[in-house]
Structure 1
Amino acid sequence: MAVTVAAPSRAVLMECIRAGVLAPSLHNSQPWRFRVGRGRVDVYADRGRRLSVLDPGGRELMMSVGAAVFTMRVALRRSGFVPRLELFPDVDETDLVARIGAVRFAAPTAAAEVLADAIPRRHTNRWPFARRSVAAESLHQLRDAAHREGAFLSVARSDATEAILDLARAADQVLRGRPGYRSELARWAAAGGGEGVPVSAMGPRDRLRTVPVRHFAEVLPFPLPSERFEPHPTIVVLGTTGDTVFDHIRAGQALQRVLLTATSLGLAATPISQPAELAATRDRLAAAMSGASPQIVLRVGHGRTVPPTPRRPLEDALLPSDGRAPSAAPRAARSRRWAPR
């Protein structure tokens, strides 16, 4: 029997984009743009939203785009389509990171339903977590989520946790001393207009300085409250075997799968990106991971319910359906296609 291949409607693709913009991004910068075509969505990197101090090479920008791509894959799967993903499909459009379409109709799986249900509930949680451990089975599911996207998740042992947090604190101190750091932080702290990190999402200061959360308070006209954080946080490191732009996109997809899985398990998560933003501390993390490329550190645990961060109007991220997007990045060497899982 012949298999009928049907393209998703524009309405289905727009719902995928609405899901995609809920993905996490550095300082909620939302560095993505979308163009709807016939049966597909093209996803572009919006390099004007790159954080030049924290992310001069655009690694975290590509991770953010990768997270949006994975979210759209999940939304399309829930809509009854097996997604088709192609990375860098046109070397003449160098900001065109991904093209998402469909292979065929297929009823959504239970796993896709679980991940899709978690999309609007996933929020970065910068508050103290409960002082109880994360179940071993939950950690296994998080590791499996990363593995399914071609990455890996390393759970830090108790003796390694403090060393990783020390690296994070050291990196944070160096980053805060960089020229332009404070103005860049101010650009995204309580920015308004549907972007940046509002005060409601900043969380309190750690009274004992156990967990190296971002110091948003230093650019605010008022102090943030302080609380005691959990003394022994659960720390995991997401890594990839390589460190190319393809690995960064892969890491972003894996990160979002891990975060959505955590949300579905009732867990909260805080990105701790500082150790991977500084070459020296990233190298030390890599040495501890047998030379692999660490992409981000996460703190996971049982946290309170937190409000979502805002999203800019969807029309701000949409490109016209015809014409070409401006391109300023180096030419991609090749394209890659991902088979559906």
Structure 2
Amino acid sequence: MNDRELLSGCVEAATLAPSLHNSQPWRFRIVGDGVEVRADRSRQLQALDPDGRELMISLGAAVFTLRVALRAAGWIPGTSLLPDPGDPDLVARVSLLRPQEPSADARRLAAVISRRHTNRGPFTDAVVPADAVEELRAAASFEDAELIVATPASRLIICGLGRIAEERLRSDGGYRAELGRWTRGPRGRRDGIPATAFGPWDAMERLPVRDFGLVHPQLSGRPERFEPYPTIAVLTTVGDRVADWLRAGQALQRVLLVATRLGLSTTPISQPVEIPAIRETLSDPRTGRWAQMVLRLGFAQSASATPRRTLDEVLAPG
């Protein structure tokens, strides 16, 4: 296998990264012995993400997935974030530094890339073990982020803020229109959120579940009983610039892959960080630590995969 074939295979793995509304806002280009990762601004969600923060988190997740795939293929990757100040859409260059036998951890992470799916359904009442929580916190720390697991008291506050955020978003016509664009489309569409991934509504209205019934009332699921005491965590970074958002995305994907390896289901809950005032409440600007994503963790039946664009659609000719 030559370098281009190897890099193309790793790019294909990177396309399985999570993104807001499965928008897949990335483009890739193979240059020499490396891959350029570029932002596709045509896929930025203007109502939900006018500053591009979540777009960059999605791109950071793709960068991390590319790194894992390269490492599992037997290479130490070199990663340069925002390598060209004159080209802000070039968010990273990931290159082949030197060959090295992959570690067992790299192999395990790569093995679950295709099994990681957002689960919007109910979780069981089983408690996430303390040692699993510590592994997830270590995963975030490895990527220069912090995963703060909510206490029972702070969990109530976070879930309450999430419900307020969801209610504010529902009242925004631009949000509803945008939600419709990413959940409607022709059969066989390879992006967006299919009806199979919508998930039910929390019968007790404790958890801030994204309400797809706003634009698809005919597909809105019946309310179901969700876990009464969810494990909620907030992913934070020191700093809130573009580079910090990219680091948050890499940390998010490492946490999600480790969770998948541990048999955990995950739900990124982005509504609380999509309303600036609520996001600031979850952050600590005095210390420079900013909330980037809220995560729900637990045990559940496997969720179905969401579609992905083909390699030809995301990889520029080179």
TM-score by shorter chain over 0.5: yes
For residue 16 of structure 2, give the secondary structure of its aligned residue in structure 1: coil
Give CA deviations for 1:271-314 in whole Å, capped at 9, x if unaligned. 11111111110111114996510000000000111110000222
The correspondence of residues 186-225 of structure 1 with structure 2, limited to 5 A, is: 186-192=180-186, 193-222=189-218, 223-225=220-222
Q: Are residues 162 and 290 of structure 1, via their aligned partners in 2, closer, same or farther at CA, if it must alter by over 3 Å?
A: farther
* 1:114-157 deviation per Cα after TM superposition (whole angstroms, max 9, x unaligned): 11011000000000000011000000000000000000100000
Q: Which runs of 5+ in 2 are unaligned?
A: none
Q: Which amino acid aligns with 1:214?
A: R
Whole-angstrom CA distance in 2 between matches of 1:86 and 1:208: 46
Letter paired with 2:300: G
The alpha carbon displacement at 1:93 in A equals 2.5
Tell whether the 8 Å contact from 1:191 to 1:197 is kept in structure 2 after alignment.
no
Separation in structure 1 between the aligned mates of residue 196 and residue 93 of structure 2, nearest angstrom: 35
The CA RMSD measured in Å over matched residues stands at 1.5
CA shift for structure 1 position 94: 2.3
Deviations 1:170-216 (A, max 9, x none): 11111222231111000111445101011111111111111111001
2:248 matched to 1:254?
no
Residue equivalent to 1:135: 129
Which of the residues 59, 64, 80 maps onto 2:58? 64
Gap runs ≥5 in structure 1: 1-6, 322-341
Q: How is 1:297-336 mapped onto 2 (pairs within 5 angstroms)?
A: 297-321=294-318
The 3-state SS of whatever aligns with 2:173 is coil
Tell me if 1:292 matches 2:289: yes
Once the two structures are TM-superposed, the CA of residue 317 in structure 1 deviates from its matched residue by 1.1
What is the TM-score when the length of structure 1 is the normalising length?
0.90
Task: Give identity over the alignment, percent.
Answer: 51
Q: Which residue is 1:167 aligned to?
A: 161
Cα deviation, residue 316, structure 1: 1.3
Map 1:78-117 onto structure 2 (within 5 A).
Answer: 78-117=72-111
Task: Answer with 37-46 or 282-291: which moved more.
Answer: 282-291
| TM, length-normalised to structure 2 | 0.96
Cα distance change of structure 1 residues 289 and 305 upon mapping to structure 2, 3 Å threshold: farther
Distance in 2 between the 1:314 and 1:219 partners?
Answer: 30
Among candidates 212, 223, 242, match of residue 239 of structure 2: 242
- For 2:250 and 2:280, the matched residues in 1 are separated by 23
Shift of 1:102: 1.4
- SS of the residue 1:180 aligns to: helix
Following superposition, the deviation at residue 91 of structure 1 comes to 2.7
